[in-house]
Structure 1
Amino acid sequence: MEEHSLKTGSRFFLVTLLNVMITLFELVGGLLSGSLSLLSDAFHNFGDAFSIILSYAANRIGKRAPTVKNTYGFRRAEILAALLNSILLIAISAFLMLEALRRFMHPEEVHGGIMLVVAVVSFTANLFSTILLNNDSKHNLNIRATYLHLLSDALASIGVIISAALILLFKINWVDPLMTLLVSLYIIYESWPIVHKTFAILMEASPQLDFENIKTDLLTIPEITGVHHLHAWLIDENELVLSVHVNMADLPLSQTECVYLKIENILKQNYNVSHVTIQAECNRGRGTKLLLDKEKDFHNN
């Protein structure tokens, strides 16, 4: 695990360095060529550099051990970073869309040659950066948000290359803001699901579980006669936590622990629950709703 963290850290550092260099390169190239799509790419890369630093810091914080004040640990730091990064992407894209619309109404001269050279170099660097983070992005929302930053820049560079070629060949300057508009729309489309998912985790929304099916599975345990007050939430995108009340016969503690083990095995194997809190009751709560959605349900017990 420590070796993996070191590898991730070195990748973050290399990707950050690349993005700072690309940002400066594209900023100069955009100003010299008059290309909005190059300048927009520079802004995205600047956002990427900030995003990568934020993601790495959150990744390190998230690996800290739980404390008395944070008994579930610090993994929500990565969820916060993913949310902030995605919102930043959407904000930058919205700003660039407005600038693209302004360029449509007031076209400006674009030098396709400079634009093409800068875009090719930028694409190569962005592609290398996405390859570095590709594997980690599949299992971590925080790194995935950063990965999307880099992927969006690689796609933007392709758009700039196409735009530069069309400007060189056909002298159609309006293709530059058009490409900026299309890439910005794509980035917003890709970023919104991350915003939605991270916000849901932070609000402790229930994950996609079949609660009635969970109840049915738990009732297959002979000692359990009722299931109610079930709650489930996510600590991060991978760790699912669940609490549940179960009605049981008046058993000794040693036998109750055996029932608890059966419950934990069902929830872990069938529903990937990482941690479960079980409250055993004889008659209290019997007949109560599976999901506690009203305050009166609590007081009735």
Structure 2
Amino acid sequence: MANSEHIKVESEADNGDLRVVAAIWANGLLTFAQVAGGIYAGSLALVADALHNFSDMAALVIALAARKIARRPANLRMPFGYGRIEVVAALINYTTLIVIGLYLIYEGGMRIFEPQEVAGWTVVLVGVVALIVDLATAALTYSMQKGSVNIRAMFLHNLSDALASIAVVVVGIIVILYDVKWIDPVVTICIAIYILYVAFSEIGTPVRTLMLASPPGISYEELIDVIGNIEGVVELHNVHLWQLSENASAFDAHIVLAREAWMGVEVIKKEIKNVLRGRFEINHSTLEFECYDRDSPCEYSMLGISEGMTRR
């Protein structure tokens, strides 16, 4: 049974890898077509979309490599495994989006002061092809992005590309109908602003994970309160709660027990572990237990006074 489940997981992973490879090829061919079309048509908006697509292709390559590395088993050098590489990949991809967005704003600003002729029909044709490819690529990765910050970064790349392609088509149509030259750099700047919005709104997630911040879906205060109210627990100190990886959280703490509860330490430990797993979905925890005797001031000062203590 376990073997069949393992084979199923591997099959799903391989299928996901094939989708990413298909998306890489599609974005690579599209980037080449857009650069050629943008240079021929004199459209900065089309070249901007091409650069965005090129960043998508790079994002896809990084995401694919990260997916493969993340599946490596834990070892002595990497005791937590390689899962966090996908978070690193997401951070790289969002940073790339920010750099591209800033560059496009600069180029668009320069073009406003020096507008150029734009071949509207070429822009529309290439823009429509780009939109089809972008939507197909986004569809390939949509179902995969729900459980992976790495794939989500890649999916948002593709989705923002689709919106940029729509803007490019609009530029071509306006140029054909009204011969408005300044619309091309203006739309380019709008595309760049949207790219920056997407990047800055999403980059916080991988940064928080890499900085070992507390999980956004878990209330630190509630967790402390729940554990502190377990019978026999006097107080907690040296408490740490952090995001181990995208889908896993970790917790460690010193738990001070009343003297009369010390004989039931294993039962209390099991109860705390069950609370962590069941209520807070924390499967990785390290607990150190200490005994507090109300009649022993010396022991209290040793066990109970600590920087960062959290009292019940």
Instruction: Give the TM-score of the pair, scaled to structure 1.
Output: 0.92
CA contact (8 A) 1:115 1:164 kept: yes
> 2:4 maps to what in 1?
none
Given candidates 298, 304, 311, the residue that maps to 1:286 is 304
1:289 Cα offset (Å) = 5.5
Aligned-partner Cα distance in 2 for 1:131–1:145: 14
- 1:124 equivalent to 2:142? Answer no
Single out whichever of 255-264 and 147-156 deviates more from structure 2. 255-264
SS of the residue corresponding to residue 204 of structure 1 reads coil
Superposed CA RMSD in Å reads: 1.8
> 1:26 maps to what in 2?
34
- 1:185 equivalent to 2:193? Answer yes
Equivalent residues in 2 for 1:170-249, closer than 5 Å: 170-208=178-216, 209-249=218-258
Cα displacement string for residues 206-240 of structure 1 (whole angstroms, at most 9, x for unaligned residues): 22333222222112321212112110111222111
Instruction: Give the TM-score of the pair, scaled to structure 2.
Output: 0.89
SS of the residue corresponding to residue 87 of structure 2 reads helix
The count of residues paired between Structure 1 and Structure 2 equals 292
Aligned-partner Cα distance in 2 for 1:77–1:185: 28
Structure 2 gap ranges (5+): 1-8, 293-301
- Judged with a 3 Å threshold, the aligned counterparts in structure 2 of structure 1 residues 32 and 220 are, in CA distance, closer, same or farther, namely same
Aligned-partner Cα distance in 2 for 1:210–1:57: 34
- Judged with a 3 Å threshold, the aligned counterparts in structure 2 of structure 1 residues 254 and 21 are, in CA distance, closer, same or farther, namely farther
1:290 Cα offset (Å) = 5.0
The letter for the 2-side match of 1:111 is A
Cα displacement string for residues 128-180 of structure 1 (whole angstroms, at most 9, x for unaligned residues): 00011011112111111111111111111000011111111111121111111
Aligned-partner Cα distance in 2 for 1:24–1:10: 22
Aligned-partner Cα distance in 2 for 1:253–1:8: 50
The letter for the 1-side match of 2:120 is G
Equivalent residues in 2 for 1:252-263, closer than 5 Å: 255-263=264-272
Given candidates 39, 54, 57, the residue that maps to 1:46 is 54
SS of the residue corresponding to residue 122 of structure 1 reads helix
SS of the residue corresponding to residue 245 of structure 2 reads coil
Cα displacement string for residues 85-107 of structure 1 (whole angstroms, at most 9, x for unaligned residues): 10001101110110000000100
> 1:8 maps to what in 2?
16
> 2:79 maps to what in 1?
71
1:270 Cα offset (Å) = 2.0
